């Protein structure tokens, strides 16, 4: 069984196994199919269980396999493309917003967020929790932080500290719409799912996630900061600054 | 020692430890400092070694800790913001391009890339290998795939299969400049470092990476596809469609 590498590079054993397994997934298995158990797989490829497990972990990281309790290891469907920051999703709460508000609290944000918002350390801000569903699956959980100064017209609830519901979340989003959005920027980085996010995303706490931090600028200041946690196993985040993603997809299909 | 969670959520033990450790990192340690060994840490926090290891893995995933062979576990500096797809870096090989060409081969691309390019299964394409350095550290390795049809004026080397050097890479990039870029789109997803990339990025094979796939459109077709692998431990990818990232940073510093 020859290696497919073009260059001569010392390859760890599990890495070579991963390549071989990946080819087997393409040729012998279909999406959703359950893999044989670890003992049988290790025997088939003539490797130690530890080596097999490392290779399976890699394939899970790359989104090729899913491991679910009580089900076993299955062949994952291709990752979903989830649009981030397309022109249509600029302002939280806009009519065609992909996010569903779930709740709202008023609390001091994490220090890093306070830094981005330019609020004082213990200053309370509106914190809207939203979730995003794509193709029937939860793909992301978000906390949207809005300084009270951004929304002077919003009536304050009688007990500012008490978390309140989706109705208040909608009120915050509605007020945001009245600001003129001047720009936004975002950063994507690797993170691990917090306990609340994990529950919402149907993952274990600590599972790898893609964290997208977006700053929204209005009236010469940072009017809101969104911290969104996307499932890293099932999602690829798409950015189309040409606005031509779907169109070009179509063109390719016609050409090929 | 109270939990800092607002909501009552069942927390795994290592997760709580992670929170406590994270606070200790903020208050007691400085960047680059070596952590006590696992035995001492486990004793200090009154947890099993396995629990401690899980918490350390989480903190590594979040970029708070770095584990290096022969050094131990150190406190990581904040992640570097690395600009992706800003207006200045639109076309590979442009004068202010952040990438350095390292080599070039002519070979069939992976099937997924062939699909994006619309090339036939075994069709050979120019494959330019480039690397990106930021603040003196390697941050990304890239393979840039260019169908031969995109560059009809490029002279073919005598042996098309033979990998050739940086000179040929530059020739491919120079020819690309002659095409009018019409648009681009990109996707970001989690991956694991391939053996060649790991070596270039000073990581172990299989380390988590952020994979950025960019399609460049010119003359009504996909003229090139870039697959860039960024270190997930040290990088956060920044996207500034307002072009105002640095300006707003400056403004905030003045305000606070």
| CATH assignment at residue B192 | 3.40.1410.10
- Same-domain pairing of A128 and A40: no
Residue A120 Cα, gap to closest chain B Cα (Å): 9
Taking contacts as CB-CB distances below 8 angstroms, the residues of chain A near B245 are 185
3-state secondary structure B107-145: ECCCHHHHHHHCCCCCCCEEEEEEEEEECCEEEEEEEEE
Taking contacts as CB-CB distances below 8 angstroms, the residues of chain A near B205 are 11-12, 15
Task: Considering only the beta carbons, identify the residue of A9, A195, A241 that sits closest to B9.
Answer: A195
Tokens 């800092």: give the residue. B4
Task: Considering only the beta carbons, identify the residue of A163, A189, A208 that sits closest to B236.
Answer: A189
Residue B245 lies in a domain: no
* Band of pLDDT at residue A160, cut at 50, 70 and 90: low
Q: Of A57, A75, A93, which residue constitutes the final position of a domain?
A: A75
CB contact under 8 A, B62 and A6: no
Residue in chain B lying closest to A242 (CA) = B183
pLDDT of residue B16: 86
Task: Considering only the beta carbons, identify the residue of B192, B240, B241 that sits closest to A61.
Answer: B192
Residue A2 lies in a domain: no
Region A123-150: mean pLDDT is 92
pLDDT of residue B159: 53
pLDDT of residue B90: 63
- Same-domain pairing of B221 and B129: yes
| CA diameter of chain B | 71
CB contact under 8 A, B61 and A191: yes
- Same-domain pairing of B87 and B211: yes
Residue span of the structural domain in which A93 resides: 80-239
What is the number of domains present in chain A? 2
Residue A62 lies in a domain: yes
- Same-domain pairing of B43 and B142: no
Q: Which of A18, A189, A228, A233 should we substitute to test contact with B (largest number of B Cβ atoms within 10 Å)?
A: A189
Task: Considering only the beta carbons, identify the residue of B14, B190, B238 that sits closest to A187.
Answer: B238
Mark the ranges of chain B whose per-residue pLDDT is less than 50. 1-8, 88, 162-163, 242-256
Residue A54 lies in a domain: yes
CB contact under 8 A, B118 and A252: yes
Cβ contacts from A onto B, under 8 A: 180
- Same-domain pairing of A170 and A107: yes
Task: Considering only the beta carbons, identify the residue of B182, B195, B248 that sits closest to A11.
Answer: B195
CB contact under 8 A, B9 and A232: no
- Same-domain pairing of A151 and A69: no
Q: pTM (2 decimals)?
A: 0.84
* Band of pLDDT at residue A210, cut at 50, 70 and 90: very high
- Same-domain pairing of A60 and A103: no
Residue B231 lies in a domain: yes
DSSP H or E run through B36: none
Tokens 């899913």: give the residue. A66
CB contact under 8 A, B189 and A6: no
pLDDT digits (tens, 9 = 90+) for A66-96: 887 778 899 999 999 998 875 545 677 776 6
- Mark B93-132 as b/e (b = at least 16 C-beta within 10 Å): beeebbbebebbbbebbeeebbebbbbeeeebbbbbbbbb
CATH number of domain containing A66: 1.10.10.10
CB contact under 8 A, A242 and B63: no
pLDDT of residue A87: 53
Task: Considering only the beta carbons, identify the residue of A14, A18, A187 that sits closest to B81.
Answer: A187
CB contact under 8 A, A206 and B235: no
CA distance A75 to B43: 41
Region A182-204: mean pLDDT is 89
CA distance A164 to B173: 56
Taking contacts as CB-CB distances below 8 angstroms, the residues of chain A near B115 are 256
pLDDT of residue B157: 64
DSSP string, A137-194: EEEEEEEEEEEGGG-TTSPPPSSTTS-B-HHHHHHHHHHHTTSPEEEEEEEEEEEE--
Q: What's the burial of A255, exposed, middle or buried (CB within 10 Å: 0-12/13-18/19+)?
A: exposed
Residue A248 lies in a domain: no
Sign, Cα dihedral of A66, A68, A72, A77: negative
* Band of pLDDT at residue A205, cut at 50, 70 and 90: confident
Residue in chain B lying closest to A60 (CA) = B191
- Same-domain pairing of A115 and A234: yes
Mean pLDDT of chain A: 82
Taking contacts as CB-CB distances below 8 angstroms, the residues of chain A near B236 are 187-189
CA distance B226 to B144: 4
Structure tokens at B124: 């050979």
Task: Considering only the beta carbons, identify the residue of B7, B105, B242 that sits closest to A183.
Answer: B242
- Same-domain pairing of B34 and B90: no
pLDDT digits (tens, 9 = 90+) for B76-112: 999 999 988 755 456 777 766 788 898 998 899 988 8
CA-based nearest residue to A80, from A137, A131, A30, A27:
A137
Residue in chain B lying closest to A241 (CA) = B185
- Same-domain pairing of A43 and A108: no
Q: Of A53, A75, A97, which residue constitutes the final position of a domain?
A: A75
Q: Which residues, other chains included, contact A20 with Cβ-Cβ below 8 Å and sequence gap of 6+?
A: A1, A45
- Same-domain pairing of A180 and A217: yes
Q: How many CB atoms are located within 10 Å of the residue B37 CB?
A: 10
- Same-domain pairing of A49 and A91: no
Residue A1 lies in a domain: no
Residue B255 lies in a domain: no
pLDDT of residue A243: 39
Residue B174 Cα, gap to closest chain A Cα (Å): 23
């Amino acid at each position: 069984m020859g290696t497919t590498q073009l260059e001569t590079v010392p390859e760890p054993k599990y890495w070579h196994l991963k390549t071989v397994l990946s080819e087997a997934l393409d040729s012998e298995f279909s999406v959703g199919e359950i893999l044989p158990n670890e003992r049988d797989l290790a025997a088939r490829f003539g490797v130690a269980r530890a080596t097999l497990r490392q290779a399976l972990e890699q394939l899970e990281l790359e989104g090729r396999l899913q491991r679910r309790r009580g089900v076993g290891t299955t062949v994952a469907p291709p990752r979903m493309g989830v649009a981030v920051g397309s022109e249509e999703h600029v302002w939280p709460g806009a009519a065609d917003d992909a996010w569903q508000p779930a709740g709202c609290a008023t609390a001091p944000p994490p220090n890093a967020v306070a830094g981005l918002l330019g609020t004082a350390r213990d200053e309370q801000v509106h914190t809207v929790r939203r979730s995003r569903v794509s193709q029937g699956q939860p793909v992301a959980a978000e906390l949207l932080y809005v300084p009270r100064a951004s929304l002077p017209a919003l009536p304050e609830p009688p007990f500012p500290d008490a978390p309140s519901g989706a109705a208040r979340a909608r009120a915050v989003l509605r007020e945001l719409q009245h600001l003129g959005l001047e720009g936004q920027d975002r950063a994507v980085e690797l993170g691990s799912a917090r306990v609340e996010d994990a529950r919402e995303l149907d993952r274990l706490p600590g599972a790898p996630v893609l964290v997208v931090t977006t700053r929204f600028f209005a009236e010469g200041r940072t009017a809101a900061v969104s911290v969104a946690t996307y499932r890293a196993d099932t999602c690829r985040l798409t950015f189309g600054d040409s606005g031509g993603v779907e169109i070009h997809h179509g063109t390719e299909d016609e050409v090929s």
